[in-house]
Structures are given as C-alpha cells and as structure tokens.
Amino acid sequence: MPPSSYDIRPQRPHDLALLDPLLDRTFGPDRQARTVYRLREGLAPVPELCFAAVDQYGGLLASLRFWPIRIEEVPAILLGPLAVEPALQGRGMGRALVTHGLAEARANGHRICVVVGEPEYYRPFGFVNAPSRGLRLPGPVDPRRFQAAELEPGAFDELAGGDGHIGRAEDARGAITAPTQLRNPL
C-alpha cells in the first residue's frame, strides 16, 4: 500500500546508501552505460538540488538530483535521475519532485536545464525537444527524449553564437552542441 503522505526534503548522507538500490530497481543495473551517466561521471551533483521524497519514518521513496553541465560556455544543469520506487510510480510523487526541484533551481539562479526522458512527462514543466533547437549530446541518445527548458525567459539567447556543445561543467570531456545559427528558437 502506498504511503498516504510523504515529505520532500534535501537528501541527507544516510539517503545515499539507499539511492543506488532505488536506481537499480527503477532503471536496471545497466543504467550506467547511458550517455547522461558519462556526463555525470566523477562529478558531484549540485548540493542544493538533491532531493528525497520520504515516508513518515524517513524511508526513501523517490529521489531527484541535478548536475552541473555547460552548453558551450553557458552554465546549465542536467535533471536526473528522477527515480520513484516502482510500486509507487504513477501517483504524482515524481511530478512533485520535479516541480519542487525546478522551483529550487530557479531560486538558485539556474537558467537552463536539460533532461533525457519522456517528452509527454516533461513537456508540462516547459521542456521542448532539444535536437529541434539544434542541441545534441556527446553520445547516443534517442533524440525524441532529449529536451531542454529555459528556467528564466530568454536564457536560450545566451546560446547565440556558439555551437551549443553540452558538456561537463568542470572539463571539456563530451558536450552538448548546437549549430551557430541557433538564436532563441522558441
């Protein structure tokens, strides 16, 4: 039986021991071969953007993290993974985490967010198809699932003049790219 209530709070150190098993149950043990994992590899998530949905006893029900990336030289964040205990999926917990996480990202001054996920799920949060905007990831990904959102109106204008290469925030290994003709396509 799903919990009748849960709290969303910042992740705590003791949540980390429960996180990998939750991710394995949600995405499978082969999840680390995906392109977005390569972008996150060896990086720490944005500390103020790591959240847990917990039951009344503090048990981890769901998790959401954001990671520092860049599009060319423009700072951005990568949403994910969003993981909800499989037996609790479809009850709004993931949407509540995304709503909370994006609000906190905006409050902390983040301007652009990218995600690889189902368009129907992320569209209500303002995400649009990233490849149609000229963005691409440094590895294989279903282009339909690769999306971007302006967290602040006009943030995509910062991409003007670059090739939209998206990469790790701390080095140049791999990146998301966009053509130089990209000029606020929204």
Could you tell me the CATH number of the domain that includes residue 86?
3.40.630.30
Q: Is 143 among the domain residues?
A: yes
Q: Is 38 among the domain residues?
A: yes
> How many Cβ atoms sit within 10 Å of the Cβ of residue 33?
10
The answer on pLDDT for 44 being more than 60 is yes
The model's pLDDT over 114-140, given as tens digits with 9 standing for 90+, comes to: 999 999 999 999 999 998 877 878 888
Q: Looking at the 3D structure of the chain, how many domains does it have?
A: 1
Q: Is 54 among the domain residues?
A: yes
Q: Is 21 among the domain residues?
A: yes
Which of 119, 124, 121 has its CA nearest to residue 132?
119
Average pLDDT over residues 105-111: 97
The answer on pLDDT for 2 being more than 70 is no
Give bridge partners of residue 113 from the DSSP assignment.
Answer: 77, 149
CA 127, distance to chain mean position in Å, is: 11
Q: What percent of the chain has pLDDT over 70?
A: 79
> How many Cβ atoms sit within 10 Å of the Cβ of residue 180?
13
Confidence (pTM): 0.84
**Parent domain of 54:** 7-168
Identity at 138, one-letter amino acid code: P
